[in-house]
Amino acid sequence: MKKNIFIVLILFIILIPFNANAETIAQKRQEIANLEKQYQEQQNKKNTARNNIKTDEQSIKNKENEINVNQQKLTAAEEESAQLTVDIANGKSELENLMSAYQIASGDNVYLEYIFAASSYEDLVYRYAIMEQLMSYMNEKIDSYKDKIKKNDELIQYISDRRIELNNQINSLNDEIDSLYDDISKYDKYANDIKSDIQDAKSFLNFMINMGCKETEELNACQARVNSTNNAGWVKPLVKGKITSYFGYRISPITGKSEGHSGTDIGGNSEGTNVYPVASGTVCKIIKKASCGGNQVYVCSYVNGKKYTACYMHLLTINTTLYATVYTNTVIGTVGGGSRTKSWETCSTGAHLHLGLGTGWYGSDYTTYTQWKSHLIDARTTIGLPKMGVWWYSRY
């Protein structure tokens, strides 16, 4: 439960970076280092659990081996006892055979008849001695067999008890393995959560560093500083051009139906013409060769103290990189949307620049395309571009 609350707290901090900005870049770094440590701890727990599973599995194998070996002993003991039982019966008949060999046995009361048939006192003693020897020989033999059978019975009992004991131990080891696997999946889930927290925190950190924030500077102070030193106004993205389609609802040149147009289309330039940012800022998102929109560069800027994201679509080339600082004279890409981008682009009917403008920063204030679309505003009226069809020949 505590863990969950902790995850929620971490997510909370990361999801609202600009509200939790009393912290510094250095503190943010520390936060990432702590998260990485936690991630490592989960990995270590996972490895320990895996090792415990291996040990348990080996222990189960050993116990199963013992059961097998014991089973063989048990079978041997049973067979031996069966043989001894036969031997005892045989022993009794062996005695009778011996007696008949000495002409002792000839029916019931053979021993007495044999003894009383003595012809003299010496003969009587002699006959009695033979009887005694034979009887004691056979009795000793039978007693030793009975002893052995008793020992086998004890062994069989021990093995049966031991088998129950070992099976119980195997069952509890299997339970332990099951719960270790449960633990591993919990560690995995937690580690994945931490991993995505780390990624979010890192991309936020990069973003702020690229906005020029210093290690010990509080993030809200940095925001204010960037605010005060940034763009006082807008410039045009192309040296010359004319608007060919407004932002908002229009008849789509592709589908022929009325639909929302997410930006302002600027024509009058061939493919390969340089495209510049409408305000200096940081490249906060790049999309390459989307089937609709093609190569796209998003620049996050402050203009007159407000955050904006400008988006340049259908580019033939992208001339910048993610999180690069770009100025109003930096070439960020070139015009595409005509024959040279046809191989990947399906949403453009000719060379033009699609200029989108949104409030807030894509990549930190919001992260999804749907959220970006809900922040769109009209670039033409905001930046101050001429009306449709009216050419311009200067960026200022």
To Zn ion, the closest distance from the beta carbon of 267 in angstroms equals: 10
Nearer to Zn ion, 43 or 349 (CB): 349
Helix (H) or strand (E) holding 32: helix 25-101
Residue 280 DSSP SS3: coil
User: In whole angstroms, what separates CA 250 from the centre of its chain?
Assistant: 47
Residue-level length of the chain: 396
Closest contact distance (angstroms) between CB of 359 and Zn ion is 19
Give the SS3 label for residue 291.
Answer: coil
Q: Give the interface segment with Zn ion, choosing from 96-104, 161-169, 324-332, 350-358 (CB under 5 A).
A: 350-358
Query: Least CB distance from residue 375 to Zn ion, whole Å?
Result: 17
- Tell me how far apart the alpha carbons of residues 155 and 74 are, in angstroms, rounded to a whole number: 7
Measured at CB, which residue is nearest to Zn ion?
354
Closer residue to Zn ion (CB): 223 or 296: 296
Residue 104 CA to residue 110 CA, distance in Å, equals: 6
Distance CA 13, CA 377 (A): 29
Binding mask 62-101 for Zn ion (x = CB under 5 A): ----------------------------------------
Contacts 24+ apart (CB under 8 A), 118-124: none
The dihedral through the CA atoms of 386, 305, 378, 235 has a sign that is positive
What string marks each residue from 300 to 339 as x (binds Zn ion by CB under 5 A) or -?
----------------------------------------
The reply on whether position 354 binds Zn ion by CB under 5 A is: yes
**Using alpha carbons only, what angle is made at residue 376 by residues 371 and 380, rounded to the nearest 5 degrees?**
165
Side-chain half-sphere exposure of 116, counting CA atoms within 13 A:
5
Q: 326 forms bridges with which residues in the sheet? A: 281
Residue among 84 and 299 whose Cβ is closer to Zn ion? 299
Cβ 244 to Zn ion shortest distance, Å: 9
* Eight-state DSSP code of residue 341: G
* Smallest gap from residue 200 Cβ to Zn ion (A): 31
Q: How far is the CB of 251 from Zn ion (least distance, A)?
A: 13
Confirm or reject binding of residue 265 to Zn ion (CB under 5 A). Answer: yes
Q: How would you label 233-242 residue by residue, b for 16+ Cβ within 10 Å and e otherwise?
A: ebbbbbeebb
Nearest residue to 244 (alpha-carbon basis) of 269, 261, 266: 266
Question: How many C-beta atoms surround the C-beta of residue 50 within 10 A?
Answer: 13
Closest to Zn ion by CB, 307 vs 354, is: 354
Nearer to Zn ion, 38 or 245 (CB): 245
Nearest CB to Zn ion, comparing residues 152 and 296:
296
Q: Which is nearer to Zn ion, 265 or 271 (CB)?
A: 265
Two tokens at 256? 């022929």
Exposure on the CB side of residue 138, measured as CA atoms within 13 A: 18
Stretch that binds Zn ion, among 47-55, 263-271, 321-329, 376-384 (CB under 5 A): 263-271
Q: Which is nearer to Zn ion, 263 or 338 (CB)?
A: 263
List of E strands, 163-206: none
- CB 283 → Zn ion: shortest distance, Å? 20
Determine the interface stretch with Zn ion among 73-81, 90-98, 141-149, 265-273 (rule: CB under 5 A).
Answer: 265-273
Q: Tell whether residue 193 is a contact of Zn ion (CB under 5 A).
A: no
Which stretches of 11-132 are assigned E, i.e. beta strand?
Answer: none
- Is 345 near Zn ion (CB under 5 A)? no
Using rule CB under 5 A, residue 197 touches Zn ion: no
Site string for Zn ion, 214-253 (x = CB under 5 A): ----------------------------------------
CA distance 248 to 373: 12
User: Which residue, 70 or 252, has its beta carbon nearer to Zn ion?
Assistant: 252
Residues that bind Zn ion (rule: CB under 5 A) add up to a total of 3
Which residues of the shown chain bind Zn ion in the complex (CB under 5 A)? 263, 265, 354
